[in-house]
């Protein structure tokens, strides 16, 4: 029976972010499942929309035996600590050595592709290099990547095949794991890696412009999928907040001939390098709220505002207050009492205070934090009296298609009301990409006139169907909407930051 060692390491590193990803972050289980090792890892992911789940299912269909090692994921943040990375890597390599002694036919890694550690600019390249040094040049290594991966030459050299998500919001995570299994099957049939071609694009793409539901990305990814008969191409648009030399978009492809691979890559590059900008429209916090109020008067469905620069899915801590100040100063809650909501605001102290006081209580709080950002400190905390509308333990079974099979462990959580605005406050970090997260604290999203979501794009999958309008707001936060705003020090000087 074909034996394949499987392991995962997931972290998206915003090197400009405020919080490190230490060993505790990989065991917290808020955004990602907590660290797991051995058979428990295999059972946990078998039915989740996650690459590991897709690969496990595809392996079972082919009669392959999966040898589970480790899976580690932490909420996007600043650097992964040296200790955390080395503990994860050591565990993986220890399991790999044991599996090799029993006979092994391949290795599959469920990776993100944009992880940066305190001592390493290319975590995934380093992991692949260490694995390659153990297994030698002839045992196949395949890996899946996030669409936001900053792909390096080291990664491409040490992996026999890499394949990335093709959707943002990431609806195809499990499907990407299954595609990795398909590429491994092609390796087995050929007996060696397929010819590969690749090119890096000389500019950064803002995160909010990367949605595959909108142009220009939509058309490019449609063409990419259509190429699968002759080649297997991938396009990672990059994570434009990692201060490393190789930050940016990369296109690559595998095919039966070098010519086919090169043609596929060049065709996609020609489409990606275009005269019209990779940029979306945004508004200041106050302008976004004013526009939302104007629209909400004549709309039956909620107006959704994305607080994109405080997105915990991109390395922020989900605790800034710029949008909450804008809602209060524009009288949004007085205009639509009980029909304006904001979430998820990370403030463990406030959540604990609310749960201790109990539903129906009114408590004095300093909500949120002022944090350092690329443009100076963010807005101050909101001081005032808050009414506790609901409390929760933070455990939530998610139902959005993107995160099917997932659940959260966000700790003490509450809905706090101030001046008619409802704020979903949590003790763990998770971007608001599923309506169930609001229902967890008794906020009914469909009944709202205005909803502020701390998210950049993933929210569109579940909130888009109920939204009358979507507005992108640029309130002060650690995740820059425009890469040009960031103080880069290591980025390739030939890479354009401003489109």
Tell me: do 321 and 402 sit in the same domain.
yes
Render pLDDT for 108-156 as a digit per residue (tens, 0 to 9).
999 999 999 999 999 999 999 999 999 999 999 999 999 999 999 999 9
Contacts with 465 (C-beta within 8 Å, 6 or more apart), sequence order: none
Helix (H, G, I), strand (E, B) or coil at 337: coil
pLDDT of residue 395: 95
Tell me: do 267 and 291 sit in the same domain.
no
283 beta partners: 473
CATH of the domain at 216: 3.40.50.2300
Point out the residues of the chain with pLDDT beneath 70.
275-276, 499
Tell me: do 363 and 238 sit in the same domain.
no
Tell me: do 86 and 129 sit in the same domain.
yes
Tell me: do 245 and 299 sit in the same domain.
no
Residues of the chain by 3-state class (helix, strand, coil), percent to 5: 35, 25, 40
Number of domains in the chain: 2
pLDDT of residue 223: 92
CB contact burial 454-479 (16+ within 10 A = b; e otherwise):
bbbbbbbbbbeeebeeebbbbbbbbb
Residue 279 main-chain phi, psi, to 5 deg:
-150, 145
Render pLDDT for 198-245 as a digit per residue (tens, 0 to 9).
999 999 999 999 999 999 999 999 999 889 877 999 999 999 999 999
Domain end residue (candidates: 226, 243, 272): 272
Cα–Cα distance measured from residue 130 to residue 415, given in angstroms and rounded to the nearest whole number:
47
Tell me: do 299 and 255 sit in the same domain.
no
Domain of residue 211 covers 3-272
In a domain, 489, yes or no: no
For residue 258, give the H/E element and its range.
helix 258-272
Tell me: do 329 and 260 sit in the same domain.
no
Render pLDDT for 275-326 as a digit per residue (tens, 0 to 9).
567 877 899 999 999 999 999 999 999 999 999 999 999 999 999 999 999 9
pLDDT of residue 375: 87
Q: Model's pTM, two decimal places?
A: 0.95
In a domain, 102, yes or no: yes
Tell me: do 403 and 307 sit in the same domain.
yes
Tell me: do 251 and 309 sit in the same domain.
no
Tokens 């949120």 correspond to what residue? 368
Tell me: do 253 and 311 sit in the same domain.
no
pLDDT of residue 369: 96
Cα–Cα distance measured from residue 165 to residue 146, given in angstroms and rounded to the nearest whole number:
6
Asked if 451 and 459 touch (Cβ cutoff 8 Å), the reply is no
Question: What angle in degrees, to the nearest 10, is found between the helix axes of 285-296 and 322-329?
Answer: 50
């Amino acid at each position: 029976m074909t034996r394949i060692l499987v392991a995962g390491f997931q972290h998206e590193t915003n090197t400009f972010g405020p919080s490190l990803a230490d060993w505790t972050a990989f065991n917290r289980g808020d955004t990602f499942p907590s660290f797991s090792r051995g058979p428990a890892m295999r059972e946990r992911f078998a039915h989740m929309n996650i690459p590991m789940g897709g690969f496990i299912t595809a392996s079972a269909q082919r009669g392959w035996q999966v040898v589970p090692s480790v899976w580690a994921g932490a909420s996007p943040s600043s650097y992964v600590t040296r200790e955390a990375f080395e503990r994860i890597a050591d565990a993986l390599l220890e399991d790999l050595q044991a599996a090799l002694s029993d006979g092994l036919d391949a290795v599959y890694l469920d990776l993100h592709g944009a992880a940066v550690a305190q001592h390493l600019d290319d975590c995934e390249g380093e992991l692949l290099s260490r694995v390659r040094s153990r297994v030698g040049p002839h045992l196949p290594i395949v890996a899946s990547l996030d669409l936001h991966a900053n792909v390096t030459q080291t990664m491409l050299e040490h992996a026999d095949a890499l394949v990335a998500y093709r959707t943002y919001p990431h609806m195809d995570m499990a499907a990407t794991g299954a595609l990795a299994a398909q590429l491994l099957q092609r390796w087995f049939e050929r007996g060696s890696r397929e010819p590969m071609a690749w090119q890096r694009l000389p500019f950064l793409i803002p995160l909010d412009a990367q949605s595959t539901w909108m142009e220009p990305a939509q058309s490019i990814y449609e063409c990419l999928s259509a190429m699968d008969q002759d080649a297997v191409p991938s396009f990672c648009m990059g994570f434009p907040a990692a201060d490393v030399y190789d930050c940016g978009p990369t296109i690559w492809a595998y095919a039966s001939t070098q010519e086919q691979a090169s043609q596929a890559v060049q065709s996609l590059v020609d489409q990606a390098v275009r005269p019209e900008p990779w940029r979306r429209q945004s508004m200041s916090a106050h302008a976004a709220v004013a526009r939302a109020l104007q629209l909400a008067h004549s709309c039956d469905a909620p107006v959704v505002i994305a607080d994109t620069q405080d997105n915990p899915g991109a390395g922020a801590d989900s605790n800034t207050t710029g949008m909450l100040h804008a809602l209060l100063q524009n009288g949004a809650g007085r205009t639509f009492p009980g029909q304006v909501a904001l979430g998820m605001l990370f403030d463990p102290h406030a959540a604990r205070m609310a749960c201790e006081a109990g539903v129906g209580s009114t408590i004095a709080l300093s909500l949120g934090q002022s944090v350092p950002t690329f443009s100076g400190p963010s807005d101050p905390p909101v001081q005032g009296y808050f009414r506790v509308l609901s409390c929760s333990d933070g455990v939530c079974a998610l139902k959005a298609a993107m995160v099917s099979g997932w659940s959260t462990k966000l700790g003490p959580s509450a809905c706090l009301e101030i001046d008619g605005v409802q704020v979903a406050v949590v003790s763990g970090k998770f971007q608001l990409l599923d309506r169930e997260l609001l229902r967890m604290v008794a906020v009914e999203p469909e009944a709202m006139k205005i909803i502020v979501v701390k998210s950049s794009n993933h929210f569109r999958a579940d909130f888009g169907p109920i939204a009358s309008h979507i507005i992108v707001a640029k309130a002060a936060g650690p995740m820059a909407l425009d890469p040009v705003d960031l103080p880069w020090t290591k980025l390739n000087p030939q890479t354009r930051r401003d489109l």
